[in-house]
């Protein structure tokens, strides 16, 4: 509990909340991720998801690294602690499926056709389901790409040099022809 709450974090947090009625959603007025989840900058460049801060400040610290702040109201910018609960990724997924208005939750396969079931499902930090196999493929691409970058750069330089040489030769030819015609 000593990580939170210190006065400055609490002050900075509440300054960015539109506190409404007890049962209403309290929209986050600060920076939001594209999906609407609020972000609070803590010390230096450290950023915290606003919902987590809200729960911690309400005396409900994160039970474990496996737990995510979930919305009972399904409103991502809402930070009313009464609308938030700590759930594991599995709880959150079950909840999303139960609610059924999570478009991703109804997909049974990823775009590559891998089945989105069991161990092949992973959730990102916004609770969106991702295909584990595709994630592995992406990771491999990125590693491969990093390895190839210097080679690619060398190839591009070689190609540019070759092209430059070809242009010079063409120009020289043209000049020579002009000279012989004159
Ligand atoms: Zn709400
Ligand atoms: Zn996939």
Per run of 10 residues, the mean pLDDT along the chain (length 182 residues) is 58 92 91 92 84 93 90 91 89 72 66 87 80 91 81 76 82 85 72
Ligand at shortest distance from the CA of 70: 1
What is the number of other CB atoms lying within 10 angstroms of the CB of residue 87? 19
* Whole-Å CA distances, 30 to 17, 33, 46, 70, 81: 8, 10, 15, 19, 17
At 51-80, the pLDDT tens digits run: 999 999 999 999 998 898 999 888 999 999
Structure-block tokens of residue 100 = 């059924």
Q: Among the bound ligands, name the one nearest to the CA of residue 121.
A: 2
Separation of CA 74 and ligand 1 centre (Å): 7
Q: pTM for this one?
A: 0.51
């Amino acid at each position: 509990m000593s990580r939170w709450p210190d006065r400055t974090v609490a002050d900075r947090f509440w300054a960015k909340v539109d506190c409404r009625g007890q049962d209403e959603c309290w929209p986050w007025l600060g920076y939001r991720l594209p999906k609407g989840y609020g972000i609070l900058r803590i010390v230096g460049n450290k950023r915290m998801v606003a919902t987590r801060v809200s729960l911690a400040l309400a005396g409900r610290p994160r039970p474990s690294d496996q737990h995510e702040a979930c919305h009972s109201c399904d409103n991502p910018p809402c930070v009313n602690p009464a609308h938030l609960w700590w759930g594991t990724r599995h709880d959150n997924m079950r909840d999303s499926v139960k609610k059924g208005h999570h478009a991703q939750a109804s997909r049974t396969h990823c775009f590559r056709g891998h089945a989105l079931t069991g161990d092949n499902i992973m959730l990102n930090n916004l609770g969106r389901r991702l295909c584990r196999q595709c994630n592995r493929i992406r990771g491999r691409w990125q590693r491969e790409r990093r390895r190839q970058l210097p080679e690619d750069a060398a190839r591009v330089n070689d190609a540019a040099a070759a092209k430059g040489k070809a242009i010079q030769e063409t120009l020289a030819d043209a000049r020579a022809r002009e000279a012989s015609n004159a």
